[in-house]
């Protein structure tokens, strides 16, 4: 896999977004997917995704995300980047989630009062890492 040259693309059920190889901040807004409007901002320092004006995903530094699927009580995606990254996701507030990173059980994590779940991933360029988050 590699970066998403068009910044954000969709297939039938998932989104792929982000380009951590860009030198300058690049944005795309009003991308329609399943009746919702998405906005992507991405470059080497950050990748951020919003849905209908609300926070969904952010990574520092920037990443490329493939097959992002946030349906029901489960979020799954593959992420890649140049170096280790901190990822923040907007989920349900004060809720526990089982987290798996790269087929390794990362344990149970709890969102804060704002619904943010923060996790760190060890990345190598051009080597996607699978992340699965399931509500308990």
Quick: pLDDT tens for 91-116: 999 999 999 999 999 999 999 999 99
pLDDT of residue 66: 97
Residue 2 lies in a domain: no
- This prediction has a pTM of 0.95
pLDDT of residue 126: 85
CATH code of 26's domain = 2.60.220
pLDDT of residue 1: 64
Per residue in 37-49, pLDDT (tens digit) is 999 999 999 999 9
Beta strands in 26-103 (DSSP E): 26-33, 36-43, 46-51, 54-60, 64-71, 74-80, 85-90, 96-101
Among 110, 127, 94, 128, CA closest to 119: 110
Residue 1 lies in a domain: no
Residue 111 lies in a domain: yes
Residue 83 lies in a domain: yes
Number of domains in the chain: 1
Residue 3 lies in a domain: no
Where in the sequence is the domain holding 31, given as residue range(s)?
8-135
Residue 124 lies in a domain: yes
Per residue in 6-34, pLDDT (tens digit) is 999 999 999 999 999 999 999 999 999 99
| pLDDT band of 125, cuts 50, 70, 90 | confident
**DSSP 8-state assignment for residue 61:** S
Residue 42 lies in a domain: yes
């Amino acid at each position: 896999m590699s970066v998403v040259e068009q910044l954000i693309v969709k297939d039938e059920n998932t989104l792929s977004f982000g380009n951590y190889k860009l030198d300058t901040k690049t944005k795309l807004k009003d991308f329609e997917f399943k009746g919702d409007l998405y906005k992507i901002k991405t470059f080497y320092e950050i990748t951020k995704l919003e849905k209908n004006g609300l926070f969904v995903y952010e990574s520092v530094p920037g990443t490329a995300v493939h097959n992002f699927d946030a349906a029901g009580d489960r979020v799954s995606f593959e992420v890649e980047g140049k170096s280790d990254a901190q990822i923040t996701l907007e989920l349900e507030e004060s809720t526990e989630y089982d987290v798996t990173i790269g087929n390794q059980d990362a344990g149970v994590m709890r969102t804060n009062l704002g619904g943010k779940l923060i996790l760190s991933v060890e990345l190598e360029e051009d080597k996607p890492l699978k992340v699965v988050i399931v509500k308990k």
